[in-house]
Structure 1
Amino acid sequence: MSHNALPTAQQLADLIRSTGAVIDPPLVKGWYAPFRETQSREGAELRADIAYGDDERQKLDVYVPTAQRKPEDAQGRPLLLFVHGGGFVRGDRRERANVGWRFAREGFVTVLPSYRLGPQNHWPAGAQDVAAAWAWAYANAQALGADPQRIYIAGESAGAAHVAATTLIARLRPAHVSAPRAALLVSGVYNVHLEKLARRQFGVPSPDPRNEAYFGSDFASYPAMSTVELIDSAPFPLLVTWAELDPPQMQIQAGELFARLVTQHGFDPDVAVIRGHNHLSQLEAINTIDDTLAQTLIDFMQRC
């Protein structure tokens, strides 16, 4: 691949396949950087750095569609709250600007919050921040041209862990806010107790720089912080996805969450495998030359 020429879709697919199930942000960001620089922003405008809380991390960006509303949006456009990942210790909403542009171009008022991170903040700080951003979105939906009854909540990786906790654990939900129209969980982790017991199998180092920073090192308390053990909300539409080349712990926990929701809690979730992608490439590809994940999420939301 020439340094001057953009990689083709096939070259990117080959790179992803040959690299395998690794999580290497600089590497994967580099593959998509040329496309991100020229991504389309047509049909959307950005309203940046809006505070939804007092902490410096409690800020959000809103991507607002500018195209004419569709007939089905007469009561307001759908709103998507999308929560970035970063292993509980890093990440920022601006790194997922491509998600904001892509879904706003599709007609969704798209809200991207940042949230408090470990090790300065511990469980359930991330979920509490998602709840606060959700409450903000609900309160401001109509002013943004959105329908407060059509709020979808999505997250990727650690963001999916926070979204799962916020939507599935009743006490973590914002007060006086109706259930989401749907939740969409992309390559998340939902059982910190399992991750502690299966470090050998999952290739997780000890100490664990990700989980111990956010959940602490009192391992006896891990079951009480594992979303799969705490589900108590009434069923609502939900999509669980993982990448074909996700590390084993993401695929196993997606399967466990799905199984528990179906057999123990009366849910009827959808599942999807994002073919040809790894943990990060599926997100970096959004609004570039590969729409696999974005289209999977859009198709699901349009059915709900």
Structure 2
Amino acid sequence: MTQNLLEQQIRAAGPVIDPPAAKALYAPLLRDTPHGGAVVSDIAYGPDERHRLDVYLPLGASRPAPVVVFLHGGGFIRGDKADRDHVGHYFSRHGVLAVLPNYRLGPRHRWPAGAEDVAAVLAWTRSHVAAHGGDPEHIVLAGESAGAAHVAAATLLRRFHPAEGLRIAGAWLTSGVYNAELELLARRQLGIATPDPRNEAYFGPDFANYRTMSTVAQIDAEPFPLAISYAELDPVQMQAQAGELFARLVTRHGFQPQISVVPGHNHLSQVYSINTGDERLAGRMLAFVRNP
């Protein structure tokens, strides 16, 4: 299927989040995507059964290679690193060492489990990535959707930073949830179901505490290189939160983040397109990972 035909189907569907449809749409392309280097699978980085990560070793890279840690999405309640192997292979074949972790999910594990898991993955990566050919001083944290929410909390809230400081090269956030309180208070306007099967599973039933779990309201980190992106056909709540996060970082916290729109894609298609020859998201991420 050509990129033009794919985009026509994506535009016809509109701003939806439909995992089975997106996966089926890209399945033929992903079957034929090129692979990168060797993969070291299911390394434990913590005690939970979900505390496992895969390392995609870089091809043709000068050593040590830049490192990206990429967290999958799944609405806080689902998702697996194996579904994003094309992301690992994309970075690997472009000379970047990629770490793809699983993390704990709601409703069994609630906020701030995701941010804690990002911190644990970062600690593992800094301690072990040199043995795999990566540069522990050049680590970029990246995530999509719920993964972006966890990366945002782990980096922008100092309570989740390691004792020695954050010390990352940068962070990339794609279409994340950064304001749980907004999604609670504007469900009608944003078309969010009540009860919310995603946010309530992770942030819990005590709505009075949602502001304290909203990253935009709790930012206290020192500025670091950061990029925020969202899809042209993202649901409106993702677009609103990307803009709100960008505005608050610039006007209140001294950041100068990049911000960009991924044209012709929806919430899920933008990530499924990575390593298919479509560079609208992948190319921007790769350039940032190399030079945040």
Task: Give runs of aligned pairs for residues 211-290 of structure 1, distance below 5 A.
Answer: 211-290=199-278
Greater than 6 Å deviation, 4+ residue runs? none
CA distance in structure 2 between the partners assigned to 1:56 and 1:13 by the alignment:
38
Match of 2:138 in 1: 150
Give the CA deviation at 1:205: 1.0
Matched to 1:176, the amino acid is E
Verify: 1:163 aligned to 2:156, yes or no: no
Task: Give runs of aligned pairs for residues 46-57 of structure 1, distance below 5 A.
Answer: 46-57=39-50
CA distance in structure 2 between the partners assigned to 1:32 and 1:166 by the alignment:
31
CA distance in structure 2 between the partners assigned to 1:50 and 1:284 by the alignment:
24
Q: Which of 63, 76, 81 is the aligned partner of 2:56?
A: 63
Verify: 1:210 aligned to 2:198, yes or no: yes
Q: Which runs of 5+ in 1 are unaligned?
A: 1-6
Give the CA deviation at 1:27: 0.6
Give the CA deviation at 1:276: 0.5
Match of 1:17 in 2: 11
CA distance in structure 2 between the partners assigned to 1:40 and 1:239 by the alignment:
26
Q: Which of 66, 89, 97 is the aligned partner of 1:109?
A: 97
How big is each residue's C-alpha offset from its partner over 1:192-216, in whole Å with a ceiling of 9 and x where there is no partner? Answer: 0010000001111111110110000
How big is each residue's C-alpha offset from its partner over 1:97-147, in whole Å with a ceiling of 9 and x where there is no partner? Answer: 000000111111100000000000000001100110111000012111111
Matched to 1:14, the amino acid is Q
Aligned length: 292
SS for the counterpart of 1:250 is helix
Question: Over aligned residues, Cα RMSD in angstroms?
Answer: 1.0
Q: Which of 5, 21, 32 is the aligned partner of 2:26?
A: 32
Match of 2:177 in 1: 189
Asked if structure 2 preserves the Cα contact closer than 8 Å seen for 1:149 and 1:178, the reply is no
Asked if structure 1 preserves the Cα contact closer than 8 Å seen for 2:67 and 2:289, the reply is no
TM-score (norm 1): 0.94
SS for the counterpart of 1:65 is coil
How big is each residue's C-alpha offset from its partner over 1:20-48, in whole Å with a ceiling of 9 and x where there is no partner? Answer: 1000011111111011112111x411110
Q: Which runs of 5+ in 2 are unaligned?
A: none
How big is each residue's C-alpha offset from its partner over 1:188-241, in whole Å with a ceiling of 9 and x where there is no partner? Answer: 110000100000011111111101100001000000000001111110000000
Task: Give runs of aligned pairs for residues 124-135 of structure 1, distance below 5 A.
Answer: 124-135=112-123
CA distance in structure 2 between the partners assigned to 1:244 and 1:121 by the alignment:
31
Asked if structure 2 preserves the Cα contact closer than 8 Å seen for 1:17 and 1:276, the reply is yes
